[in-house]
Chain A
Amino acid sequence: AQTVTQSQPEMSVQEAETVTLSCTYDTSESDYYLFWYKQPPSRQMILVIRQEAYKQQNATENRFSVNFQKAAKSFSLKISDSQLGDAAMYFCAYRSRNNAGNMLTFGGGTRLMVKP
C-alpha cells in the first residue's frame, strides 16, 4: 500500500515571500499521479497542481510549482509571492494508475499561515 507523509504540520510565510511545503511518498509502482490540494476554512478541497510520474518536467500553475524527485519519492510544493488567500491546509496526495478505483491517498496535511 502506498503512504504519503507530510513532515511539516504547520508552516508560516510572510506575505509576498516564497514558501516550500514538503511531501514524501512510498510506492513500488512506477506510474502514478501526485497532487496538491488546498483546503481553506470553507473545507472544500481544491486542486492546486498535478504531476504525472512519467513526466520529468516539474508542473507549474501560476505562482505554484512543484519539485518532483521520482528517485527520492519527493514532491514538494513551492508557493511564490504568497498571498493572504493562500492560507489554508495543504494536502499532498497520491493516485495509482493501476487500481480499479483510482482513489487518492492523502498525507496528513500542512497548515500554512500567511502573515501580512
Chain B
Amino acid sequence: EPEVTQTPSHQVTQMGQEVILRCVPISNHLYFYWYRQILGQKVEFLVSFYNNEISEKSEIFDDQFSVERPDGSNFTLKIRSTKLEDSAMYFCASRLLGDATEAFFGQGTRLTVV
C-alpha cells in the first residue's frame, strides 16, 4: 500500500540553526500539507501546497517557515532559524485531487530544538 514517508524520524538541532524536514508524498497525490503537534497539544495546520504554490497557510507559518517541492517527488519544510518553541512533531500529509478525498499522513518527524 502506498504511504507518505518522512525523514528523519527524529532531528535534534541547536536554537538558531536551519532545519529541513523531508517528505515523500504518495506519488499521484496533488495536495500536500504540513501539520505540527506540540507535545500534549492538538494537531495544528501549518500550510497547504497545490500546483507548486502555497494555497493556504496558518498564522504559525511565518517568515521563518518555507515549503518547497524541489524535484516532483519530495516536499520539504524549512525552518530558517529554529526557536525552542518549534520543538514538536511535524506531520506531512497528501491527498488526491477532489474535495472528497482523504488525507494520508506520514509517521512524523520529531524536532527537538535545544
Chain B neighbourhood of A105, CB < 8 A: 45
Interface residues of B in 43-86 (CB under 8 A from A): 43-45, 47-48, 50, 55-58
Indicate if the CB atoms of A107 and B42 lie closer than 8 Å: yes
CA distance A103 to B59 in the complex (A): 14
Interface size class of A (residues with CB under 8 A): 20 to 34
* Secondary structure of the A contact surface, majority rule: loop
Give the residue of B48, B104, B106, B107 whose beta carbon is less than 8 angstroms from that of A102: B48
A72 contacts across to B, CB distance below 8 A: none
Q: In the complex, what residues of B have CB within 8 A of residue A45's CB?
A: 43, 91, 93, 105
User: Which B-chain residue is minimally distant from A91 (CB atoms)?
Assistant: B43
Interface string of A82-115 (1 = CB under 8 A from B): 0000000001000001011111111111000000
In the complex, residue of chain A having the shortest beta-carbon distance to the beta carbon of B33: A103
Number of interface residues of B (CB under 8 A): 27
Q: Is B19 on the interface with A (CB-CB < 8 A)?
A: no
Q: With A97-B99, A101-B48 known to touch, is A106 a contact of B43 (CB < 8 Å)?
A: yes
A64 at the interface (CB under 8 A from B): no
A42, A91, A97, A104: which contacts B107 (Cβ < 8 A)?
Answer: A42
* Residue pair B100, A99 in contact (C-beta under 8 Å): no
B89 at the interface (CB under 8 A from A): yes
Contact of B48 among A37, A43, A44, A103 (CB under 8 A): A103
Residues of B within 8 A of A33 (CB): 99-100
A52: CB under 8 A from chain B?
Answer: yes
B→A interface (CB under 8 Å): 31, 33, 35, 41-45, 47-48, 50, 55-58, 89, 91, 93, 99-100, 102-108
Chain A interface residues (CB < 8 Å from chain B): 33, 35, 37, 42-47, 50, 52, 91, 97, 99-109
